């Protein structure tokens, strides 16, 4: 038995290395589809110091511990219009998160205190692709 490098030099082809694209933490790193997306778009009431930022940070901490949670992306503009997309393995992990008691309480606070309007769409991701300047 011989190990590579013990006899004739092994001809290992090292593929040309792409410039390493630093991962941008705002993007979710997701497995290959299929998986589920919960698309939450919302208009905030004007509000500073209304506990929203703290609650959002707490929800992020909780959802990361939710079985089946895959990742999320979120943004909001200066007019208070935001979109958050949270990704889950399957419908049952979405249900688990929906039934989380602290999350349910925080959704109620959202209706009472923070939002003017929101829409939720639950969708099954069938295909996905990405592009990075470092790949180009």
Point out which residues bind a copy of itself (CB under 8 A). Answer: 21, 24, 26-28, 30, 33, 37, 39, 41, 43, 45, 73-79, 81-83, 85, 111, 115-133, 136
Where do we find the tokens 């925080």? Answer: 106
Q: Pairing state of beta strands 81-88 and 35-44?
A: antiparallel
Token representation of residue 42: 């919302």
In the complex with a copy of itself, the residue whose CB is nearer, 10 or 119, is 119
Helix crossing, 101-109 with 91-99: angle to 10°?
70
Please tell me the distance from the alpha carbon of residue 10 to that of residue 33, in angstroms, as a whole number. 37
Nearer to a copy of itself (CB atom), residue 5 or residue 130: 130
- Cα gap 18→136, rounded to integer Å: 9
- Smallest distance from the beta carbon of 123 to a copy of itself, in angstroms? 4
Please list the residues that pair with 76 across neighbouring strands: 82
3-state secondary structure of 133: helix
Q: How far is the CB of 74 from a copy of itself (least distance, A)?
A: 8
Residue 65 CB, shortest distance to a copy of itself, in Å, is 23
The residue (of 1 and 136) whose beta carbon lies closer to a copy of itself is 136
> Considering the complex, what minimum distance in angstroms separates the CB of residue 100 from a copy of itself?
18
Identify which of residues 64 and 116 has a Cβ nearer to a copy of itself in the complex. 116
């Amino acid at each position: 038995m011989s190990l590579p490098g013990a006899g004739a030099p092994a001809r290992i082809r090292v593929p040309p290395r792409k410039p390493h694209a630093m991962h941008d933490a705002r993007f979710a790193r997701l497995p290959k589809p299929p998986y589920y997306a919960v698309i939450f778009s919302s208009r905030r009431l004007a509000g500073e110091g209304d506990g929203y930022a703290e609650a959002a940070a707490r929800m992020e901490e909780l959802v990361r511990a939710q079985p089946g949670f895959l990742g999320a992306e979120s943004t909001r503009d200066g007019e208070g219009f935001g979109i958050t997309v949270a990704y889950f393995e399957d419908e049952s992990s979405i249900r688990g998160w929906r039934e989380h008691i602290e999350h349910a309480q925080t959704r109620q606070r959202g209706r009472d205190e923070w939002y003017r309007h929101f829409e939720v769409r639950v969708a099954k991701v069938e295909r996905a692709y990405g592009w990075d300047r470092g790949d180009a």
